[in-house]
Amino acid sequence: MRTIFIADAHLVSPDDVNFHLLLRFLRELEGNLDTLYIMGDLFDFWLGFPSHPFTQYDAVLDALERLTQSGCKLVYFEGNHDFHIGTIFSQRLKAEVHTGPAIKTVQGRRLYLCHGDQINREDHAYRLLRLLLRAPLVAAGVRHFPPAWAEKIRVRLQKRSRAGYTAKTARWDYRRILLDFGRSLLSHGCDGLVTGHFHLALHENIPESSFTVLSLGDWMWQFTYGEMRDGELQLKKYPL
C-alpha cells in the first residue's frame, strides 16, 4: 500500500513553478497510489463559491479527478487558506473532507491528522480569527457572496498571513511545539502525527516511543511531502 501526504502548496498562478511541478507529480501518481491526503492550503485561497470563480485552478482539479478515477481515494483536510471548500471536492472529486483534525488508522498505525493551525495554542490572535472565519454564519454566507469578493478576501488574507509568518517563526520554536504536541497524543493511543501549516520539514521520533512526528514542509519552495509504505512514515523531497 502507498499513501501520500501533501500540504501548503499555496497555489496562485498556473505559470508558477510549484503549480507545474504539482501537476507533474499528480500525473505520476495515477494508478500508483491508494490514498492522497491533502493536509490543507493546497491553494493560496479557496472558498466554495457556488459559481466557482477560481478557474485558474481547473488544471489541478482535472488532475485530481483523473487520480481518483485511477482508483485513488482523496482525503482533504481544510487549512487556513482553503476552508468552506464546497461541493467540488465532496461531489465531483468524491473526497472525504475534514474541517478539523481527525484520528485515523492508516496502514495499521493510529495517526493524528491535521492541517496544524490549531496546534500552537499560544497564537491567540490567529485562533480568534479562525473561530470567526469558521463560524456557521460565514459558511452559509459564502453562498451569497458576490464572486468579485473572492479576490478581495484573498488579497487581505494573503497580506496578513505573509506579514505575520516571519514574526511567528522568530517568536516560536515550531519544532519544540510539534514534539510537545506529539507527546500529548501518546495518552490518546496515537502513534503518529502528520501535519502541515508550519512549513517545517520534520521527521522525528519521540524518544522511548514508536511515535513519529511528520511535519510536511511545503510545496512552495521545499517541495517536500510525506509517504507511507508498509506502515512506515517517511519525509521525501520531490526532484526538481
217, 201 Cβ separation under 8 angstroms: yes
Res 47: pLDDT: 82
Residue range 52-92, pLDDT digits in tens: 888 999 999 999 999 999 999 999 999 988 888 888 999 99
Q: Within 13 Å of residue 179, how many CA atoms lie on the same side as its CB?
A: 11
The whole-number pLDDT of residue 121 equals 84
- Name the pLDDT band for 165 (thresholds 50, 70, 90): low
What is the pLDDT, as a whole number, of residue 235?
Answer: 98
Backbone angles phi, psi at 101, to 5 degrees: -60, 160
Grid coordinates given for 85: 471548500
CA distance 80 to 100: 11
Q: What percent of the chain has pLDDT over 70?
A: 81
Tell the residue number behind the cell numbers 492550503, with chain if given.
41
116 — alpha (psi -120 to 50), left (phi > 0) or beta?
Answer: left
- Assign a CATH topology to domain 2-237: Purple Acid Phosphatase; chain A, domain 2 (3.60.21)
Is 215:200 a contact under the CB 8 Å cutoff?
Answer: yes
Q: Torsion-angle region of residue 108: left (phi > 0), alpha (psi -120 to 50) or beta?
A: left
pLDDT tens, position by position, 23-48: 999 999 999 999 999 999 999 988 87
